[in-house]
Amino acid sequence: MRWPDKVLVREVGPRDGLQYEKAILATDRKIALINGLIGAGVVAIEATSFVHPRAVPQLGDAEKLLEGLAEYGSEVVISALVGNARGMERALAMTHTQLSEVVVVVSASEAHNRANLNRSIDESLAELYEISNMAIGKINVRGAVATALGCPYQGNISFHQVNRVIDGMLAAGIGEITLADTAGMGNPRQVYELVTQLKGIYPGVTWSLHLHDTCGLGMANIVMGILAGISVLESSVGGLGGCPFIPGAAGNVATGETIKLLRKMGIDTGIDLERINQCTRKLSGWLGR
Amino acid sequence: MRWPDKVLVREVGPRDGLQYEKAILATDRKIALINGLIGAGVVAIEATSFVHPRAVPQLGDAEKLLEGLAEYGSEVVISALVGNARGMERALAMTHTQLSEVVVVVSASEAHNRANLNRSIDESLAELYEISNMAIGKINVRGAVATALGCPYQGNISFHQVNRVIDGMLAAGIGEITLADTAGMGNPRQVYELVTQLKGIYPGVTWSLHLHDTCGLGMANIVMGILAGISVLESSVGGLGGCPFIPGAAGNVATGETIKLLRKMGIDTGIDLERINQCTRKLSGWLGR
């Protein structure tokens, strides 16, 4: 049993957490939230999304937000979601800001990919190839495989389905891939086995894990991901980001809970729990919780 | 990574779950609950306690309850908590019923042992020796180490503190020992390391794990316990049994959640989830939840 000394916790609350919130949070408050998170020691934040503002009104202020961020230095990585070539153009126009990375999501489930992105997996992978080419020498591109551990429409996801998307991402030159349990359907054994298998086949890839706590297994899945060699975990401040299709479902694993678990197990994240709790309380107030 | 095919889940709701409930549940309903649990496939139930009725009024009907249970056959083990020699006398007077096992609890924490049992650990171990001698040839005795993974009064519990209680239990001839995370303070790495260490030192002992979900780590702790070789888990129907000193704290790990997790990981418990959910709903109604 090998426990790491250190794990990187990437904060996705400002993007994945906020995107389902109906009440629009003012750009100033989003910036204050990001500043607070960075002040707590967070060094990787998925800050916003370059999707069409009609699709996700909450994130319609991507440019304004990025322009408003302070200069954090090169050790802080600010990333944004990009859905298509138009989104990539918008991202490339922001490289004078702190933005240094984009994320492209493709689902392992054909049904989820169509529901989420309105196109087939093959179409998404072709677009990913195009987007990645646009980025060369300008901005880093990460990949994320949605529904990698189960799909609300299709149920179980086979290793072949995950593998196919990964092959497409690697062909596009991507070096870091997030395995996302979008619907929170994964179990600890499955997480361990999937990560172990992928690490064996693709030893050069950096794997990150994006978990939801929908079924109360978020913490158990984190532990088994870490034991399989995951070194990057994604979490959301306050656990924000429930699935809009499952009322009352718990959302992303919460940042505070994640770093508390890691700290108890002697694993360093460089993040101050008390300051994360302050961010959570402030955000809860703004969202009227 | 070795995953077992099968795990025994012992139900402790009728004893550990109900004992903190102020409203007394009628004996008939307790019997109906136990019958329902056994109908769902449960084969080990901690049914009641032979403590003084003034200390735990809810369990003052121990004899009446045991007399009222149906004959389940030898594959079902009904156990009861015993606190002292007087309790053991009461248990021995009930061996004509389904009762075939008693449990004796000693805390790894001196402060908790005094708060819970009003005596020192040495005094408890001496009494355990006496109780075990009374039981020889008549009834099986299990041991349980309370606060084995952390104490609300003393904080961290050292391996030596746990070990000392275990040595006392083994000297009394006990063959199965439950490690209880009474305050829900344990973390997955700690569970793994404690169980692994104990199994190495005492290969002949059967170890069971009694976990609380106070800090949201119940499921993660179950997984790491299983990977360390635990073959018996304790859980409570509906997660009943919160700590009376921590308002709102989650109680024992819930039976339904436990068997759902195990089933997802391909581990058989022989228990029907839907019938456990029926028991939970019925009990919730009786308790006015």
Interface contact flag, A261 B220, Cβ < 8 Å: yes
pLDDT at residue B288, as a whole number: 86
Inter-CA distances, A214 with A28, A115, A211, B217, Å? 30, 20, 9, 15
pLDDT above 80 for A237: yes
pLDDT at residue A249, as a whole number: 58
Whether A266 has its CB under 8 Å from any CB of chain B: the answer is yes
Interface contact flag, B261 A187, Cβ < 8 Å: yes
Residues of chain B with C-beta less than 8 angstroms from the C-beta of A192: 1
Write out the catalytic residue numbers of A: 243
Nearest to B106 by CA among B145, B150, B149: B145
The phi, psi pair for A131, rounded to 5°, reads -60, -45
pLDDT at residue A173, as a whole number: 96
- Mean predicted confidence (pLDDT) in A1-24: 94
d(CA B34, CA B13): 9
Residue in A187, A227, A261 nearest the CB of B187: A261
CATH code where residue B74 lies: 3.20.20.70
Interface contact flag, A264 B190, Cβ < 8 Å: yes
Residues of chain B with C-beta less than 8 angstroms from the C-beta of A223: 188-189, 220, 223-224
pLDDT above 90 for B92: yes
pLDDT at residue B227, as a whole number: 98
pLDDT in tens, B114-157: 998 899 999 999 999 999 999 999 999 999 999 999 998 999 99
In chain B, positions 169-208, which contact chain A (CB-CB < 8 Å)? 187-190, 192
pLDDT above 70 for B273: yes
pLDDT at residue B142, as a whole number: 98
Interface contact flag, A265 B190, Cβ < 8 Å: yes
pLDDT in tens, B210-243: 999 988 999 999 999 999 999 999 999 999 986 5
Q: Concatenated DSSP letters for A26-78? A: PHHHHHHHHHHHHHTT--EEEEEE-S-TTT-GGGTTHHHHHHHS----TT-EE
CB of A160 closer than 8 Å to CB of A154: no
Interface contact flag, A223 B222, Cβ < 8 Å: no
pLDDT at residue B22, as a whole number: 86
Give a yes or no: residue B191 inside a domain. yes
- Nearest CA distance, B272 vs chain A (angstrom): 18
pLDDT at residue B245, as a whole number: 52
pLDDT in tens, A112-135: 999 988 999 999 999 999 999 999
Q: Which residue has the tokens 């075939």?
A: B100
pLDDT in tens, A184-222: 999 999 999 999 999 999 999 999 999 999 889 999 999
Give a yes or no: residue B243 inside a domain. yes
Whether A219 has its CB under 8 Å from any CB of chain B: the answer is yes
Share above pLDDT 70 across residues of chain A, in percent, rounded to a whole number? 97
Top-confidence residue, B245 or B70: B70
> Which residue, among A2, A194, A227, would best test binding to B if mutated, counting the most B CBs under 10 Å from its CB?
A227
pLDDT at residue B104, as a whole number: 97
- H-helix or E-strand spanning residue A261: helix A255-264
pLDDT above 60 for A247: no
Whether B257 has its CB under 8 Å from any CB of chain A: the answer is yes
pLDDT at residue A250, as a whole number: 72
Question: CB within 8 A of B267, min separation 6: which ones?
Answer: B3, B4, B5, B6, B7, B226
d(CA B255, CA A185): 19
pLDDT in tens, B191-214: 999 999 999 999 999 999 999 998
Which domain covers residue B192, as residue numbers?
A: 8-286
B20 band by pLDDT with thresholds 50, 70 and 90: confident
Q: How many structural domains is chain B composed of?
A: 1
- H-helix or E-strand spanning residue B100: strand B99-107
pLDDT at residue A1, as a whole number: 86
d(CA A119, CA A125): 10
- Mean predicted confidence (pLDDT) in A69-87: 95
Interface contact flag, A189 B266, Cβ < 8 Å: yes
Residues of chain B with C-beta less than 8 angstroms from the C-beta of A184: none
Whether A146 has its CB under 8 Å from any CB of chain B: the answer is no
d(CA A66, CA B171): 67
The phi, psi pair for B235, rounded to 5°, reads -150, 170
d(CA B127, CA B106): 10
> Which residue, among B2, B156, B185, B219, would best test binding to A if mutated, counting the most A CBs under 10 Å from its CB?
B219
In chain B, positions 113-142, which contact chain A (CB-CB < 8 Å)? none
Average pLDDT, chain A: 95
ipTM of the complex in this document: 0.94
Nearest to A234 by CA among A72, A8, A77, A59: A8
- How many interface pairs between A and B have CB atoms less than 8 angstroms apart? 57
Helix, strand, or coil (residue B69)? coil
> Which residue, among B190, B194, B217, B233, would best test binding to A if mutated, counting the most A CBs under 10 Å from its CB?
B217
CB of B138 closer than 8 Å to CB of B95: yes
Whether B223 has its CB under 8 Å from any CB of chain A: the answer is yes
Nearest residue in A to B4, CA atom: A189
pLDDT above 70 for A248: no
Inter-CA distances, A128 with A62, A104, A114, A173, A200, Å? 20, 7, 15, 10, 24
- H-helix or E-strand spanning residue B256: helix B255-264
CB of B30 closer than 8 Å to CB of B21: no
A66 CA to centre of own chain:
18
pLDDT in tens, B41-71: 999 999 999 999 998 999 999 999 999 999 9
Residues of chain A with C-beta less than 8 angstroms from the C-beta of B266: 189
pLDDT at residue A91, as a whole number: 98
pLDDT at residue A245, as a whole number: 52
d(CA B106, CA B172): 13
A246 band by pLDDT with thresholds 50, 70 and 90: low
pLDDT above 70 for A231: yes
> Which residue, among B194, B195, B221, B227, would best test binding to A if mutated, counting the most A CBs under 10 Å from its CB?
B227
Give a yes or no: residue A224 inside a domain. yes
Interface contact flag, B216 A217, Cβ < 8 Å: no
d(CA B254, CA B233): 11
Whether B233 has its CB under 8 Å from any CB of chain A: the answer is no
B1 band by pLDDT with thresholds 50, 70 and 90: confident
pLDDT above 70 for B110: yes
Q: What is the SS3 assignment for A108-146?
A: CCHHHHHHHHCCCHHHHHHHHHHHHHHHCCCCEEEEEEE
Residues of chain B with C-beta less than 8 angstroms from the C-beta of A224: 223
End-to-end CA distance of chain A: 40
Average pLDDT, chain B: 95
Q: Residue B247: how many CB atoms within 10 A of its CB?
A: 7
pLDDT above 60 for B247: no
d(CA B48, CA B45): 9
